[in-house]
Structure 1
Amino acid sequence: MTSFGEELLAVYDNVHERLLARLDGLTDDEYLWEPVPGGWSLRPGDDGVLRAEKTEPDPVPAPFTSIAWRMWHIGVECLDVYVKLAFDRVPVGVGGWPGEAAVRPGGGAEAIAALDAEFARFRSRISGLDDAALARSCGPLAEEIHVFTYLGLMFRAIDEATHHAAEIALLRDLYRHREVSAA
C-alpha cells in the first residue's frame, strides 16, 4: 500500500516535471517579456541588482506578472518561504532568491536552475515525513500563510506550483504566437 505522503510526493514530482518540460527552451527575452504595461517583473535597483517587484499587501486587483516574476514567486515566496516557516521556524518577509539575499536570476536558464533547486530543497524536507508526521502541526509561523499541518503545507505547495505553472505555460504560448503573428 502506498502512503498518503508517497502519493502526494508523486503529484508534487509530476507538477515539477511538467513545469520543467514547459520551461524547456525558455529564452532570456521571453523570461523577462512584459505583454502589458504596468505589470510586475524583475527589475534592477539603483545598485544594478535584479529584484522582484512586490508590495505588501498585494494591490487589488493584483498587477499582471511576467514569467520571471512567476518563477520567482514559486521559488521564493512559496517553496523557500514554506521551508523557512515550517521546517526552519524562521520568520520571513519577502526575501531573496535562496543563497543570494537580493539577487534574482537575470536569464531563463539560470532561473530554471534556481527554481529546480527550490523544488528539490522543499521535496527533501517534506519527503522525510511519514503519514503521522504529515498530520502534525508545522508550527505557528506557518499559520501566517493559513497552513496548520505539514499535509496542508504539501497541498499548498502543489496548489501554488500548479496554479503558477499553468500561467507560465499560457504566457509561453502567447509569446510564441506573438512572435509568429509579428513575422
Structure 2
Amino acid sequence: MGIDGTRTDRLGLLLEQFDQARESAQVRLTGLSDEEYLWEPVPGCWSIRRRGEATTPRAFGPGEWVLDQGAPDIPASEYAEVARQAAGGMTVEKIADDWSVSVERVEQVLAHTGEPEPDATPITTIAWRLAHLHFHFAGGWEWAFGERRQEPKQLVDFTPAAAVELERFWALIDRWRDSVGAVTEEQLDTVGFSQYPYSNDADYPFVNVLAGANLEFIHHMSEIALLRDLWRARFTTAG
C-alpha cells in the first residue's frame, strides 16, 4: 500500500520512522570523541566502567568494561503499565516476576493514587546511553530473529572507545533494520514473536514490540543529542 510511492502500511510507517531517526542520530554522533563519550556532567552518573570499579549493584557485561545498573524497581513512569498488566489479568506474583521486584512493591504501585512523584533517576553518560541501546537491540534481535537462547547481558562487549562502539553499534542497527524489513503481516500480529527475556515482549503482537523499539531508539538518541549540546557549551558562561 502507498501513495505516490510512499508506504502507508503499518510496517512501512514504522520503518520510515526508524530510518529517519537513524539518519538524524548518525549525523548527530559524527565526531564523537572518547572524552565526550565518557563525560560525566554531574557527580553520581551511571556510565561504563572497568570491572571492579563499578558503582552500582548490578553492573554487567562479558568483558573488562561493564554497564552500570541499579537495584530493580518499578519507575513512576511505568505505574500505568503495571495497572494495565493487572487489569489484563496478570497476577501480582507474575507482575513482580516481570519487573524483578517484590510482591509488596507491586502492591504498593497498584495502591498508589494521584500523580506519581518524579523518579530520582541518575544522569547517564553518552557511553551509557549508547551501550544501553546496543544491549537492548542486540537482545531484541537475538530473541526475535536469532536463536533465542543467548543471555542478553553477555551479547555486548562494552568499550571505552567511542569510534569502536559506534562501528559496532551501527552494524547491529543495520542488521536489526534488515530483519525488521523482512517481517510479514502474519509475524507483525504474532503474540510472542519476540521472546526477549528482560521485557514483556512475549505478551504483545510484534508490531507493538517494534513501535516500542522505535520509541526506545528515538528517546535515547534525543538525550544523547542534548548531552552533546551541553558538552559543547560546558565552558560557556553568561555574559
Q: TM-score, normalised by structure 2?
A: 0.66
> Could you tell me whether the CA contact under 8 Å between 1:82 and 1:153 is conserved in 2?
no
Change (3 A) 1:150 1:107: same
Cα distance in 2 for residues equivalent to 1:127 and 1:56: 36
Residue number among 29, 36, 53 corresponding to 1:30 in the alignment: 36
Post-superposition shift, 1:92?
3.3
Q: What do residues 126-172 of structure 1 show as CA deviations (whole Å, max 9, x unaligned)?
A: 11112232111234734751222221121011000001000000000
- The structure with higher relative contact order (CA 8 Å, sep 6+) is 1
- CA distance in 2: counterparts of 1:142 and 1:107, whole angstroms: 28
Q: Secondary structure at the match of 1:34?
A: coil
Contact 1:20–1:112 (8 Å) recurs in 2: no
**In structure 2, what residue type is equivalent to 1:64?**
I
Q: Is the 8 A contact 1:33 1:66 kept in 2?
A: yes
**What stretches of structure 2 of length at least 5 have no aligned partner?**
2-6, 54-62, 76-118
What RMSD in Å do the two structures reach over aligned CA positions? 2.4
SS in 2 for 1:43: strand
- Give the counterpart of 1:173 among 219, 229, 232: 229
More helix per residue: 1 or 2?
1
Aligned residues between the structures? 176
The structure number with the bigger radius of gyration is: 2
Structure 1 gaps, min length 5: 98-102
Q: Which residue of 121, 128, 131 maps to 2:182?
A: 128
Counterpart of 1:86 in 2: which secondary structure? coil
1:52 counterpart = 2:67? yes
Spell out structure 1 runs of 4+ moving beyond 6 A: none
Distance, in Å, in 2 between the alignment partners of 1:18 and 1:140 is 27
In structure 2, what is the Cα distance between the partners aligned to 1:53 and 1:18? 27
Please name the residue that 2:149 is paired with: 90
Q: Contact 2:44 / 2:123 at 8 angstroms: preserved in 1?
A: yes
Q: Residue 105 of structure 1 is aligned with which of 156, 159, 162?
A: 159
Partner of residue 216 from structure 2, selected from 140, 160, 181 = 160
The offset of 1:40, in angstroms, is: 0.8
Q: TM-score, normalised by structure 1?
A: 0.85
Cα deviation, residue 16, structure 1 = 1.1
Aligned counterparts of 2:143 and 2:14: Cα–Cα separation in 1: 20
- Contact 1:91–1:141 (CA<8 Å) still a contact in 2? no
**Does the 8 Å contact 2:139/2:196 carry over to 1?**
no
Map residues 55-94 of structure 1 onto 2, 5 A cutoff.
55-57=70-72, 61-76=120-135, 78-88=136-146, 89-90=148-149, 92-94=151-153
Identity score, percent: 31
Cα separation, 2, equivalents of 1:157 and 1:115: 15
Partner amino acid, structure 2, of 1:154: L
